[in-house]
Amino acid sequence: MSDLYRSALQARISKLPMLPPEPDDDDEEAEAADSLGSLPSGIGPAPMQRTPNVDFAPISAASFFEQATQVAVPASGLDVRAYYTPPRFADGTVMVCHHGAGQSALTFACVAKEVTDMSRGECGVLALDCRGHGRTVRTNQSGSAEEDFAIETLTADFVNTIEAIFPDPTTAPTLLLAGHSLGGSVIVRACTLLQEQKYKITGVAVLDIVEEFTLEALPMMNNLLDVRPEGFDSQEAAIEWHVKTNAIRNPHSARVSVPAIIKPAPDDAPVGTPAHVWQAPLRLTAPYWTSWFTGLSSKFLSARTARLLVLAGTERLDKELMIGQMQGKFQLVVIPGVGHMLQEDDPTRLAEVLVEFWRRNERVIAGVKKVGER
């Protein structure tokens, strides 16, 4: 987990068939007010600045994706927020992205545009808000009022959403699954389930998550949440805080992604509550943290497709992955100068890595194995 790992451990101690366009400009403006990031590497109080800083004004997602819509997923009882740029060609690939805990699909906004540009439209990008995050909402309110964040539930949500968007596996585009942090655990589990349904999966790309180091860092997560601001006076203040604490090192990306991870404080909030509070209830997900990542390395190495692991530092490879790398079971790429949010910190370099991975494995000659295949 990049800087989160480092600080915690040192002290011993996270062409869609038919997606309609955005309904109107008002919704687009509201989009600029969406995003939820992972815990920062640098921790400190929220800025006390009262006048919003225009240098940190939100940027709409409209220039990064062609479409944004809500997808009804009855099997999961969800209305899922999807951002989509379809491939321009009938035989194109779609990269499906799953964000990490506390984030939103817009964490992939800058990467999505880079991927579609670099691939000249051959590779589209579909990014989804998972349950309890971004603009995805529950449609089935029966049962517990609290969200179920079990890894099995999140994986089923992902698979059910793919099936809702591409209902016929025989006509669906080839899929490349990419997941950041928690999203990495979801996509490696979903890969097998989608293949059982006859979807074509050209590869899985796991972004900055390694089982052993993550599990060692988890005991300090509550401490990190304790020192995180309760909220912010404005969207600009939230963006500024993420940039100045190095939670996100790329201001341009932060201006797109951060507004989606906060929301207006409820009307019945206690006096003194900031105008904007966090969207996702990270502390309520604590009972699930260990199960999210346990078994990740073995599941990644056993995925029946090409495998890519992208990290912000090589010191986080655990023993199982080190052995797997020496055996040539996956491709490893380290991106220097980035933190845990590597997809935001250096979207151009990550897009280069993902497009190269896609080209190498989607266009393979018959009989030639993909990267990581045995």
pLDDT tens digits along 125-176 = 999 999 999 999 999 776 567 889 999 999 999 999 999 999 999 999 999 9
Active site residue 208: yes
Of 185, 115, 123, nearest in space to 157 by CA: 185
Considering only the C-alpha atoms of the chain, give the largest distance between any 2 of them, rounded to a whole number of Å: 66
Task: List the structure tokens of 198.
Answer: 């006859």
H-helix or E-strand containing 322?
A: helix 319-326
Q: List pLDDT tens digits, range 286-329.
A: 999 999 999 999 999 999 999 999 999 766 788 899 999 999 99
Active site residue 340: yes
Considering 3, 129, 157, 208, which one is annotated as catalytic? 208
Residues 296 and 186: their CA atoms lie apart, in Å, by 9
Active site residue 242: no
**Side-chain half-sphere exposure of 23, counting CA atoms within 13 A:** 6
Residues 304 and 285: their CA atoms lie apart, in Å, by 30
Residues 38 and 334: their CA atoms lie apart, in Å, by 20
Residues 102 and 360: their CA atoms lie apart, in Å, by 32
Q: 43 near 224, Cβ under 8 Å? A: yes
> Could you tell me the residue ranges of all domains in the chain?
2-362
Task: List the structure tokens of 29.
Answer: 């403006």
Considering 35, 41, 104, 181, which one is annotated as catalytic? 181
Give the residues across from 67 on adjacent strands: 84
Query: Cα–chain-centroid distance for residue 290?
Result: 18
Residues 1 and 43: their CA atoms lie apart, in Å, by 15
Task: List the structure tokens of 340.
Answer: 């845990």
Looking at residue 52, its pLDDT comes to: 83
Looking at residue 22, its pLDDT comes to: 45
Residue 31: partners with Cβ closer than 8 Å, 6 or more residues away: 22, 60, 61, 62, 68, 260
Query: What number of helices (H) and strands (E) belong to the chain?
Result: 14, 12
Residues of the chain under the 50 pLDDT cut: 1-42, 364-368
**Strand, helix or coil for residue 115:** helix
Task: List the structure tokens of 348.
Answer: 């151009």
Looking at residue 75, its pLDDT comes to: 96
Considering 2, 119, 340, 346, which one is annotated as catalytic? 340
Look at the chain and count its residues. 374
**Strand, helix or coil for residue 190:** helix
Assign domain 2-362 one CATH number from 3.90.420.10, 1.20.1630.10, 3.40.50.720, 3.40.50.1820.
3.40.50.1820
Residues 186 and 216: their CA atoms lie apart, in Å, by 20
Looking at residue 20, its pLDDT comes to: 41
